[in-house]
A and B are shown apart, each in its own frame.
Chain A
């Protein structure tokens, strides 16, 4: 079969380029390891400053607990009052916690200090979580104090965490990063492949042969798909072995999703290479696309939050569906009955992009 010889040639060419080997095998491993550590968004070590004006025993204990908590990084404890706003403006701490002795309220003497928390609200995510941590510390203290006095909280809440009991964010982000890297490297290798053919001026030889445009297209796509799968597998291995992310679902579903996803992203890469008139344009547009895919994929911020005006972009973003599916398979162990709709969306995107890409490819070769 003619296609076999084309695919074989592509593989020989790829592996004869010495620069390629580390890019194919080592780069994905390194990238996942580094990114894995970066995107672990477990918020901790929040820098705060404490102003303790209270002589209360409770105040002392609370300050102790905040200081010894790994969630907070107490930069300074002072006994003198200062302007919280100015401190926050400097940006070295995210919150200023001020404790003072309680003033009687409605005639009742209170046991616990008055606490004012001034928070830098710019990073709304961190400040919400910081407030939560802080509330947690206070509440824990109160409960324990009450227990010592023989009183207890009327309601005992039993909370179970499903799917990610240790609440490790790497479990949530890790699989997503693999999807992202698969996207980036596929688009990169695709553009390189076509550019190489152009630079070697061997494109004509392909065209004059008995290969049809579709065959040329597929012949170039198959090795790229295989490379993509190899890289994705390496990435998965890192996520599972290095970061010890558990996989609850069936990996075959993962393979299925990858097989639907790859043609979509490959065709997209080929489409860009054939639409661009210069290499700079192709490069530039692939970069722009990849960043957009990345930021609109639900990897860093939730899809539901995307403004309606931009929503359509997220809806045609294949990476978004892949990430959702990967997360469901890894964390929830979901089978295809849960995500068939996403798979369908992926398939539709794939078919549309492939068609556009092949049509444009045909136009591109017959100048």
Chain B
């Protein structure tokens, strides 16, 4: 125990004498939070719809009004502006200036009033299938709303949808906690990844090898100081999240702290594992960045929902620590979830840390033996 402390003290001294990289560790995530927090947003802002009304009757005008009054739609009357509105509409779709074109035939009002079935034509830009789907759904809702003026369709089924946790449906709520997860693991892995490879590069590793310390003591002693650094970085990010982005923290800070500790440990132990494997500092850094950011961004549920992944990829996502923490952080911050809800995830992260550290110790012992 005393010997681990000695390693820790030395490592702390290293940290203290390198204020430049500390600054980077704190500043960089803030900068990234700022940029990406404001950049990532998939709220539908406005759906530009071009309307071609051949009918001109009061019913068609009523339908158009329903679209116009909806806060998601911005409509443009194509018949009024263009001689050949359909051609113009297709062109505007191609140019990306419209998301859809709605065509109301000449006999629309007449047929509806006469109790006959009327037709409605819609052309949607299908490039972005997600948006196209949403546009389609919104169309349906608006048309249904329009029709409820006639028939008792609304009365037929009582459908009440309540959205929890994000009533204003802002994607910041989705992304920003996610960013915290990504940044935390990136920082923690980076911090420890250069630790051993730096010693390899400067040659001081030989001194470490011949010291009376056990390999496990060395590895653990090198990891612990960075826990503090990572947690402080994490706290800074959290403060920024709460006060700059205004994301409320609905859950318990203590619970968050406990799980963050576990998560940071996985990052740190992963970093130190890389440090034992990499021959040089730059390879270590590169490896740490690559192995943390890509899977964490792609496969953890940060942007792409896990349930939509193919079974193979979903399986791989279980190997990504960020997947577990993401669930936790979204749950605790946004839903006010408690410790009991995430026992499995907590254990999973602890297991990861254990595995990484054990592998790191094993690898370190092996190269130490070879050096002798």
* Residues of A that sit less than 8 Å from B by CB: 35, 37-47, 73, 85, 88-91, 94, 102, 105, 108, 110-129, 131-132, 135-136, 138-139, 142, 152-165, 167-169, 171-172, 279-280, 283-284, 287-288, 291-292, 295-296, 300-302, 304-307, 309-310, 313-314, 327-328, 331-332, 334, 338
Contacts and interface: CB of A to CB of B under 8 A. Distances in A.
Interface string B37-79: 0111111110000000000000000000000000000000000
B118 A118 contact: no
Contacts of A156: 117-120
Given A172-B128, A307-B38, A37 B121 contact: no
A302 B45 CA distance: 10
Contacts of B165: 88, 120-122
B308 A124 contact: no
Contact of A45 (B121, B153, B286, B308): B308
Given A110-B158, A115-B157, A120-B165, A295 B36 contact: yes
A216 B167 CA distance: 58
Nearest to B91: A338
Nearest to A132: B137
A293 B6 CA distance: 43
A194 to B, nearest CB: 13
B331 A163 contact: no
B160 interface: yes
A131 B309 contact: no
Interface string B142-162: 011011001101011111111
A283 B164 contact: no
A172 B134 contact: no
User: Which A-B residue pairs are the 10 nearest by beta carbons?
Assistant: A132-B137, A121-B166, A307-B38, A164-B126, A121-B163, A161-B126, A305-B41, A167-B129, A112-B157, A114-B158
B184 to A, nearest CB: 15
B124 interface: yes
A38 B335 contact: no
A283 B285 contact: yes
A241 B311 CA distance: 23
A46 B164 contact: no
Interface of B: 28, 32, 35-36, 38-45, 90, 93-96, 112, 117-134, 136-137, 139-141, 143-144, 146-147, 150-151, 153, 155-167, 169-171, 173-174, 281-282, 285-286, 289, 293, 298-299, 303-305, 307-310, 312-313, 327, 330-331, 334-338, 341
Nearest to B303: A300
Contacts of A136: 137, 140
Contacts of B93: 162-163
Contacts of A128: 44, 134, 137, 169
A70 B293 CA distance: 31
B127 A304 contact: no
B38 A152 contact: no
Q: Determine the main DSSP class of A at the interface with B.
A: mixed
A37 B134 CA distance: 22
Contacts of A306: 38-39, 41
A52 B123 CA distance: 38
Given A124-B169, A305-B45, A88 B164 contact: yes
A324 B51 CA distance: 26
A103 to B, nearest CB: 9
Given A115-B157, A162-B123, A292-B35, A42 B129 contact: yes
Contacts, number: 283
B174 A123 contact: yes
A144 B156 CA distance: 13
Chain B CB within 10 Å, residue with most, of A108, A114, A155: A155
A111 to B, nearest CB: 7
B313 A38 contact: yes
A108 B158 CA distance: 13
Contacts of B126: 161-165, 167
Given A90-B337, A117-B160, A38 B174 contact: no
Contact of B171 (A125, A171, A313, A332): A125
Contacts of A279: 282
A301 B41 contact: yes
Contacts of A158: 119-122
A52 B243 CA distance: 42
A172 B307 contact: no
Contacts of A112: 156-158
Contacts of A129: 130, 133-134, 137
Nearest to A168: B129
A287 B169 contact: no
Contacts of A283: 282, 285-286
